[in-house]
Amino acid sequence: MTERFAAGFAGRVAVVTGGGTGMGRELVRQLTADGCDVATCDVLVANAEETRDLCRSEGNPGEVLVHRADVSSEDDVRSFAAAVGAWRPAVHLLFNNAGIGGSVSIVNGERSQWERVFDVCWYGVYYSTITFLPQLLRADVAHVVNTSSVNGFWASVGPTIPHSPYSAAKFAVKGFTEALITDFAVNAPHVHASVVMPGHIGTAISTNSDKLLGLDDPEKLRARYIGAGLDPDRLSPEEMLARMERRGERFRDTALTTAADAATIILDGVRADRWRILVGEDAHIIDELVRADPEAAYTPELFREWNARVEAVRSAG
């Protein structure tokens, strides 16, 4: 095992994007508990402030800097990096964690929604990496950790649901990170890179994404129902909103892996200097199935097999 971060993160400085909820919040909590100072940003800055306050209430020795930033805006990322630079001279760890979901079709979905998902999930990673690179280069040892997804090697959430922008962005993140391995080895050997590929993690990404994409607007909810072949007039706007909230809660509560466990897996992977970090038993299962039979990756049969194996794991407790 490398000695780069094997002893832990005490005395180091980390940047975590999307630190207001989910895996981002848990990364901040676990890093600061280990004595790492963490700068975190979120488009919903009140959530990031809650993360900071939680770390303080837990007595974590690491300090937290909070900044409001939308990672799809290069100007916002530059402002965040300037704030971090004024706070600490170098950055040892960059966790490009911020992301939103979106099952949007390129055929009949709104282009604005398509591009919003892609801009956050891909350009957010790209902008943060190039913007924080000077601070990473100033550190004695550094590591870039980019969150992709199982949808970064398997562009599906089921044979009847288009998942185009999210999958395209996460494939880009995976390819970018793998390319950085050689780029850093040649041009900045003290900087390493890891790609994180989570399966279904218990976070509020579904609900938060719907709100950030404006899908809680009654007219957009109606259009979503119509696009799914459902009759929107059977439900009031309030009932449709309530269903959206319940769907987000089910997504969070039925995951095999909690956000806290996911953060632990990620940090263990960084300590071990692994470039490829699968998160969750469901991620390992789909990785195995797709590698075994790539031509069957998008068939209903493979999806059913994956789902059956995941349910078996769930039942086993």
Q: Give me the average pLDDT of each 10-residue run along the chain (317 residues).
A: 81 98 97 98 97 98 98 98 98 97 84 93 98 98 98 92 92 98 98 97 61 58 59 67 60 79 98 97 97 97 96 88
pLDDT of residue 109: 84
Domain boundaries, the chain: 13-203+258-316, 205-254
What is the pTM (predicted TM-score) of this model?
0.86
From residue 289, how far is each of 110, 190, 212, 240, 283 by CA, in Å?
Answer: 32, 35, 33, 36, 10
pLDDT, position 3: 64
Which pLDDT score is estimated for 162?
Answer: 84
What was the pLDDT predicted at 291?
A: 98
**pLDDT given for residue 235 in this prediction:** 66
Structurally, at CATH architecture level, domain 13-203+258-316 sits in 3-Layer(aba) Sandwich (3.40)
Whole-number pLDDT of residue 234: 73
What pLDDT was estimated at residue 108?
84
How far CA 247 is from CA of 89, 166, 191, 205, 265, in Å, comes to 43, 19, 40, 11, 26
Q: Please give the pLDDT value at position 2.
A: 43
* Long-range contacts, 239-247 (Cβ 8 Å, 24+): 241/216, 244/207, 244/210, 244/215, 244/216, 245/207, 247/206
